[in-house]
Copies of this chain bind each other. A is one copy, B any other.
Amino acid sequence: MKNKPIKKRTHNYKKHIGKAPGTLVYTGVKTEKLLHIESFDYTKETLNESILTNIEDAKIHKSTDSVTWINIDGLNSINEIENIGKQYELHPLVLEDIVNTTQRPKIDEYDDYLFIVLKMLYYDNDENIVIEQVSFVLGKNYVLSFQEAEGDVFDTVRERLRHGNGRIRGLKSDYLLYALIDAVVDHYFSIIETLGNKIEDLENDLFAGNTRENINIEVQQLKREILKVRRAIFPLREIINRIEKGEHPLIYKRTITYYRDIYDHLIQVSENIDIYREMIWSLMDMYMTTISNRMNEVMKVLTIMSSIFIPLTFLAGIYGMNFEYIPELKYKNGYFILLGVMFVLFIGLLFYFKRKKWL
């Protein structure tokens, strides 16, 4: 794994400072693309799918009996968003939150509609986690969804709407909202699965004794990814919990079982994230002890080599001296006796280290 350069200064809260509340400031990535608006209008029997080119058309379905899903991709056309806001009589703060993509997942209950912000997570082509904000407005008979850019996780919902053989076409807008959120939450599982695999890979590397220095950095990056994902996912639990309590008139009792199902999934995802977090901390610990073990091994080699040869060298030094009178030097077998002594010393030290379990 190559260390990906860390993108800097990606958050830009500052833009917003000092604006009056309700001022729309888009904080996401600016693209040249225009707004892309698609609309699904359906009853149990009929389906009307279209691409809206004229923003004014968005309002057509507002007061019909059929259920309408209007999906808006691209949030940098502030004026158009404001326009839609007026058609659907949204509170200025709602519009501000829709275009402010640094928004934390949240739910705001208004008399006529529910406003929900959440984060859609998926991997882009470079295996980076992309966090895209999606806002939903659930009204009587309609759901509006706002995304930062085209490309989403809703294709399965579109298919189900088109085929019309499931539950979805026969139920109300609250079930449509459920289906959309469920699609988002389902993708969380693939995110945490990939995270889990990355952790296992690192762990296996460490178990195999691999202590390359940038494991350090990889662990750090994984930690940050988990923090990022955690932050995007955790607040959603509370939101679904609020919906599930079923106190808002737009949520029918029949659908609540389904929301509870999402809630269970979110608990499961959260639990996994927390386990991964603990495992990552464990990995760091393990890495540290592995390094220390290595150091120990290095030190032992040094100590053994030095402790054996430094005394021997000293002995050789003694008989390398040039004193006029060193009796041993005259012995016929002095040299061999000394070699013998050295050998005994050598063996003795080996034994000593053996007994200390350093060999």
Contact = CB atoms under 8 A, between A and B. Distances in A.
A309 B318 CA distance: 12
Interface string A288-305: 111111111011111101
Contacts of A267: 104
A271 B207 contact: no
A225 interface: no
A192 B102 CA distance: 13
A98 to B, nearest CB: 13
Given A104-B271, A207-B217, A275-B227, A14 B190 contact: yes
A325 B335 contact: yes
Q: Is the interface on chain A under 10, 10 to 19, 20 to 34, or 35 or more residues?
A: 35 or more
Interface string A311-350: 1111011111111111011111111001100000000000
B14 A207 contact: no
Contact of A335 (B16, B155, B312, B326): B326
A121 to B, nearest CB: 12
B313 A310 contact: yes
A17 B289 CA distance: 39
Nearest to A22: B167
Contact of A312 (B306, B314, B329, B333): B314
A203 interface: yes
B216 A290 contact: yes
A326 B329 CA distance: 10
A21 interface: yes
A3 B295 CA distance: 23
A200 B8 CA distance: 7
Interface stretch (A56-64, A68-76, A135-143, A179-187): A179-187
B307 A310 contact: no
A286 B322 contact: no
Interface in A276-290: 278-279, 282, 284-290
A240 interface: no
Given A13-B192, A313-B313, A323-B329, 16 more contacts: A8-B200, A16-B189, A20-B160, A93-B261, A103-B268, A104-B271, A108-B257, A216-B286, A224-B279, A227-B279, A294-B296, A295-B299, A309-B311, A316-B317, A320-B321, A323-B334
Interface of A: 3, 6, 8-9, 11-14, 16-22, 91, 93, 102-104, 106, 108, 155-156, 160, 166-168, 178-179, 182-183, 186-187, 189-190, 192-193, 196-197, 200, 203-204, 207, 213, 216-217, 220, 223-224, 227, 231, 257-258, 260-261, 264, 267-268, 271, 275, 278-279, 282, 284-296, 298-303, 305-307, 309-314, 316-326, 328-335, 338-339, 358
